[in-house]
Structure formats: structure tokens, C-alpha cells
Amino acid sequence: MSAIAPPSAKVRSSSPFDVLFKRLMNEIHAASSPNAIMVGLRNKILKVYDVEMATIFLVDAKKHQLVSWVLLPGEALRKIRTDINRESIIGFVADTQKTLNIPNVYDTEGLKRIHPTLTFDRRWDEKGGCVTRQVLSTPIVYQKNLLGVIQLINRCDGLEFDTDDERRIAELAETLGIALYNHYKTGKKVPLRYEELIKREIISGQEMERAMVIATQQERDVESVLMENFMVEREELGDTLAMVYQTKFMDLTQSTHSVASLVPKGNFDNFERDLIIPVEQQDDTLFLAAKDPVNQPDLTQIKKTYGVLHAKIFLSFGDDIRAVLEKYRPGNEEEGEYEQKPGLNGHDYQEVDERVEIDNSPAIKLVNKILEDAYYAGASDIHIEPYGMTQDSEVRFRIDGHCKNILRVPKHNVTSVIARVKVMADLDISIKRKPQDGKIKFTTTRADNVELRVATIPTAGGNEDVVLRILADSKPLPLEQITPARIYNRITQALVKPHGLFLVVGPTGSGKTTTLHSALNYINTPEKKIWTAEDPVEITQYRLRQVQVKPSIGYTFAAAMRAFLRADPDVIMIGEMRDEETAGMAIEASLTGHLVFSTLHTNSAAETVVRLIDMGLDPFNFSDSLIGILAQRLVRTLCPDCKEGYTPSKKEFDHLVQSYGILFYDHIQTSYSDSLVLYKAKGCDKCNNSGYKGRAGLFELLIASQKIKEMIIDKATSEEIKQEAINNGMTVLLQEGIQLIFDGKTDYNQVMATCSI
């Protein structure tokens, strides 16, 4: 029984051991984390060293302890801790950084000869239901830094550990030291593949590490452990991992599709090695499922084997791929077992005899015509609405806020049209039962470049609607161009404030983002650092640092705000205050010297105040931070080429005066006479016979005066706040609409339809 310094000599070639040892070294360096090394490789160490028990302890420097996970009979995975001192065997090894080879741990006198305080804790034998005889323990050291201790217990042949064992454990410790050092150097405990699960709070970091340890120990896939041991939902897990690889999740437990006919054509051994499997072939595209959709060294050869130009790789779980491959392993075939099955994870792949002709000439021409006609008609959206085989499909354009039927697509052609749109948007044509989003960059026959945002939505009867948003000009409009002079003069005084909160509110599609960018353009100077977080980024400006948020990966408006505050901002624009966290952070930022812009979905400026207080914001901080609130709508304007002038009746004039209120004559400065001319819609070719062309903004601007700030603290009603704002010079949406009527830009029907929303 003696303390032995680690030898420098390497273990001589010993064929059975060397082969196993080399494999173990590879496993150590490939381990995903220190925990995976500590527990996951335990069984492999037992086999290589032919011992009854092997334990790796890692150093917890802060607590001056050694830590390990152990599996005790009848118990779950448990973490144990031991102090680094000379009272225990592993504590002694860590403290002295010397190897101990003890033939009999129950020889108390022998232990005292090594050190007077050294003892063996018999409780571990009692808990583990085993009898420890010999112990061989050595420190794990790299560049004089203690990283841990490895301990072997009881040779299976009953003999004592000898000098060969001491050399072998020293070599193992050296390899472990290098591997652990590399892990600590990178600072990553969890592989990138699984980090997204932690970001989305699907599983905690500690649980993720435990799952990797269990998976390595049981020689199973981490994904299977997450689903079975940690109750992570299959689809949620698959979708999250697939997002990391920028692909889609394919659940092979639902169907194996055309695997039976495809697998025999390829190299089965390579499929098994790389955990990849072909599931469908359509024209010149091969669809595959893989555990790792990115690292596939044989992909070029696979495409060549199947005679395709393109390959689309989905993510599937490794154990699922192994199960499918085992089913189709050469020699396992049974007659009638491999018929083609429709549907894979709810994805509706087309059968061979129903294959969609996505590149047929009529579909290409029709889709191009729809996109071009919509662009030149000034449409904001295109709606393609199929009704299956019961009737023809409709295509509608939204122009100036209203949908209009444009054409009908024969029911037998609409599938090709939708597939063509999906191909242009780089969407998966095989997926029909889940919504998808994408973008199209399209060049018209007049050489105009158009960008469209595409959304597909499954609808009743197995149909699939497509909505295309024609993205507006990516340049901001001058603020004086979109706001009337009275609003412009008041809003520009608010925008030059050094700090505070300014909100633009209104329903979806009311032009809030356009107005915000016009406001930012007004203050965009070299002296100011401006950050924006948007969903999506539709308008771009020079010098603005713009960020696209991605809630699906946890990059929310609140997360972007936190990042911006570390990036030396003067001005911050948050696309929308959707929750209390984002709103609270916006207010805190505005109170600490930043000018903050954002939007909210409310109907009026005064109502916005009450809504934010109801969200849980502190009235004192909110009142201190608020600069102003601009509520807005978009109203259809009369076609300038065909609008028709008329003299209103005295009754109509009086109704407009009454609707405006007592300040009508002060603001409109018009009285009734036979020469008074208003305008109404008529209709011509240039406006598609609607009588209207284009839209104008209606605004109500609430400036936070000292009196309004006090009312916010006192939690006044929205009506009380509105009345005080009017006393301070605010005009409401209806008043601005009536102003446009007398300016000859719109009519009463459009104003009422807009202001009653």
C-alpha cells in the first residue's frame, strides 16, 4: 500500500486493451460536456479496465470539494460531494495530487500509515449493497491544475491492482485532463443543438446536462431521454431542434412514406452511419430525414445515386431513423410490409399520380400576372382562396384597405398556382397542414423590383389559403408629407425631446410603422445613435441600426431592448409593446436618458393611458416618462381624376358642424354659402370605378402636459384625460376627418366608416 507519483512512461501495446482504450479516448474527446464525461462514460471505463466500479469526480473550486453523479441501486441519479482534505481516499488524492493503490480499504492501520487522518467511509458500501476491496485512485491534472479524480474499485478477476493498472489509469487521467480543460476553456456545458431548448425554457440547463449524462450512460439518444425521462413533448422538441438547423421536423413515427422503394437504391451502411434516410422523391428533388441535417458528407453522392439536382433535409430523431432502417434492413423484408403511406407528421406529400405541376407554364404565367397586376393596382395584399374541388378559387386584392374580387382560378388549377407561389417563396410544397411564412423577390415586366411577404394557412376541407403582403417602399416618408400642418407643428416639438416615451397607436394596418419611421427620419442625425427592433423590418433607413426580432427563438422585443441598453443608444424604437415586461423596460429606458418610441393596439390616445396602467405599469414612472401619444387611422381618399364637386345642403353642412364641435369655425374657417363645394365619389378606369384612390392619415395627438401627468398618477378615466387633452389643443380623429372633407380629399361616408372602428 503506497502513494505513487503518476509515471511518464506510456502503456505498451497490448492488443485487446489498446483497441478498447483507443475507442474510449475517442469517446472522451467526443463527449458533449463534463457531466457526460463524469457519468456517461462510466460503463465504458468498466469494460476497458475490467473493474466493478469506476467513478470520476470533478473539482468544485469555489466550495473546495469534489463532485460526482452516482447511480445507487433502487435510486435515481444522485449528486455526491466530498471535501478536498486528507480524511477520505479521493480527498487525499486531490489534496496531494498523488495516486493511491490500496489493496484493502478496511485495513485501518494501513490507511493510517499513509496519513493519520485517512479513513474509508463504510456507508457507501452499505448504500450501494457491495463490498469495496481494492481502490486505485489518481488525480486528473492538466498543466498543474487539478481538475478532478478518477477512482477504480475492485478488479473483476479478484486480483490486486498492479503497476500496469497504475500506468493505465495515469494515461486515462491524462486524456481526461485534456478533454475537461478543453470543455472549460470553451465555457460551453451544452451543445448548440440543445441550447435553444434552454432559451425557450422547455427544459432547464441542469436538466439538460442530466439528460445528456443519462443518454451517454444508457447509450441512447438525448432526444429519447428528453421525451421519456423529462416529459418533453415530441413535436415541441422536434420543431425546436429543427429551427436550429433552419429546417422542419419530420416525425418518422407517423409514416415512413416511400422509404421502402428508396432505401434499396442507396448505400444502407452509409445511411446507418450518418443517420440519414430518404423518404420521398419528387421530380428532381429528394426529401431526406437526418439526425444532423447540416453535417452530411455523402450528400453529393446521395443526390447522384438518386439522379436528382436538389435535396431537402428535414430533422428527425436518431432512434426513429434507426428503427426505420432496421425495418428496411436488407433481408428483413416481408411481403406487403412496405406499401407507400400518405402523410408524414401531418405533412401531406403528393402521391405519384397526383403530383403537382409546380413549374407548368400556365401556373407560372398566372402567378406572375397576379403579382404584377396587384403591384400596379396599388394593392397592399393578395388573397388566394381555394374551395377544393367544389368550386373555383377566388383571388382578391386589398386596395386602400378594402378587398375586391379580381379573378377566379379554375378548381383544377389552383393547386399548381399555390405550389408555384410556395416555390417562389422557398417554402416546403409538401407541407399543407401547417402554416408557413416566406418572402418573394419579384421583378415585373417593367423591371420594377417587388418584395412580398407570404403566409400560407391551412383551411377547412384540406385546402390551403395564401396571403401575400406587398411590402411598401423601403424608404421612410417625410413627416410633413403624411401629417397635416397642425399635427406636424405639435409633433415635431415632442420629437426633439432628449428623453421620454412617445407612442403611436391604432389598429393593425393603420400606418403606425410608417409614421414611426417618419418620426425617426426627422431626428436621424449623425449625433444620435438609434436602435430599432421590428417584426418584420419593412422600412430601412441609413444610420439606423435595425434588428428583426424572432419570438420563436426567444429573441423578443424585451430581449432586444435589454441588448440595446448595453449598446450605447440615444433613441430606441420598439415595434410593439405587447406585454408588461416590454412596456416596463421601455419606461425604465426613457427615465434613464433615452428617447423611446413604440406602438400599441388601442383605439384612441386617451384610452392608451388607461390600457397601460391596467397592464400593471407604475403610474408615477409612466407619467414621468410620457411625452405624447399619437393615435391614427387611414381613410380612403377620393380619386383626383373623377371626384365630383357639389354644393351640400344646409342640413348636411349643419350636421358636419355639429359633428366637429364648437371649434369648427375656428379650425375649418368656412361658413355655408351657395359657392361652398364638397366632393363625392364617382368612378373611372384609373380607380377601378371605385371612386377612391389612395389613403390619407387621420391623427389625434395627445401631448402630456403637467396636468395630464397628474391625472395619470390619480388614475383618471380615459374620458377625463381626453377632455383635458382637447382643452390643450388636441383634435380628435373625427375632427381631422371632417377637415379632410372640407379640403376636398374624402367624403363623410369614408370618415365615419374609419372613425367608428
Check residue 648 and give its pLDDT.
94
Check residue 620 and give its pLDDT.
93
Beta pairing, strands 545-548 & 285-290: unpaired
Nearest to 257 by CA among 331, 314, 301: 314
Chain length of the chain: 757
Check residue 479 and give its pLDDT.
94
> What b/e string do you get for 400-439 counting C-beta neighbours within 10 Å, with b at 16 or more?
bbeeeebeebeeebbbbbbbbbbbbbebbbbbbebebebb
> How far is Cα 124 from Cα 72, in angstroms, rounded to an integer?
9
> How far is Cα 341 from Cα 528, in angstroms, rounded to an integer?
60
pLDDT tens-place string over residues 684-702? 988 888 899 999 999 999 9
Check residue 344 and give its pLDDT.
38
R_g over Cα of the chain: 36
Nearest to 69 by CA among 224, 221, 210: 210
**What 3-state DSSP class applies to 628?**
strand
Check residue 737 and give its pLDDT.
94
pLDDT tens-place string over residues 53-90? 888 888 887 788 888 876 544 444 567 888 999 999 99
Torsion of CA 28, 33, 35, 40, to 10 degrees: -40
Amino acid at 730: M
State the pTM of this model.
Answer: 0.52
Burial class (CB in 10 A: 0-12, 13-18, 19+), 568: exposed
Please report how many Cα atoms fall inside a 13 Å half-sphere around the Cα of residue 562, on the Cβ side.
7
Number of C-beta neighbours around residue 483 at 10 A: 24
Check residue 217 and give its pLDDT.
63
The label of the residue with cell 429573441 reads 555
> How far is Cα 746 from Cα 740, in angstroms, rounded to an integer?
6
> How far is Cα 428 from Cα 317, in angstroms, rounded to an integer?
20
H runs (alpha helix) in 414-511: 414-424, 479-482, 485-495
Longest Cα pair distance anywhere in the chain, in angstroms? 122
- Average pLDDT, consecutive stretches of 10 residues, N- to C-terminus, the chain (757 residues): 41 60 75 69 81 87 80 55 90 92 90 90 70 92 89 90 90 87 66 81 80 72 85 88 88 74 83 87 87 84 87 90 83 43 37 40 83 90 88 90 88 86 83 85 81 90 90 81 93 94 92 93 94 87 89 83 90 91 91 94 92 90 95 94 94 93 90 93 87 93 95 93 94 94 94 80
Check residue 16 and give its pLDDT.
73
Amino acid at 270: N
Check residue 256 and give its pLDDT.
61
Nearest to 439 by CA among 454, 417, 422, 429: 454
Q: Which residues lie below 8 Å from residue 377, measured CB to CB, with a gap of 6+? A: 397, 399, 688
Mean pLDDT of the residues in the chain: 84
Check residue 5 and give its pLDDT.
39
CB 124 within 8 A of CB 132: yes
Check residue 187 and give its pLDDT.
56
> How far is Cα 56 from Cα 53, in angstroms, rounded to an integer?
10
Q: Measured between alpha carbons, how far apart are the two ends of the chain, in Å?
A: 89
Sign of CA dihedral 601, 607, 608, 614: negative
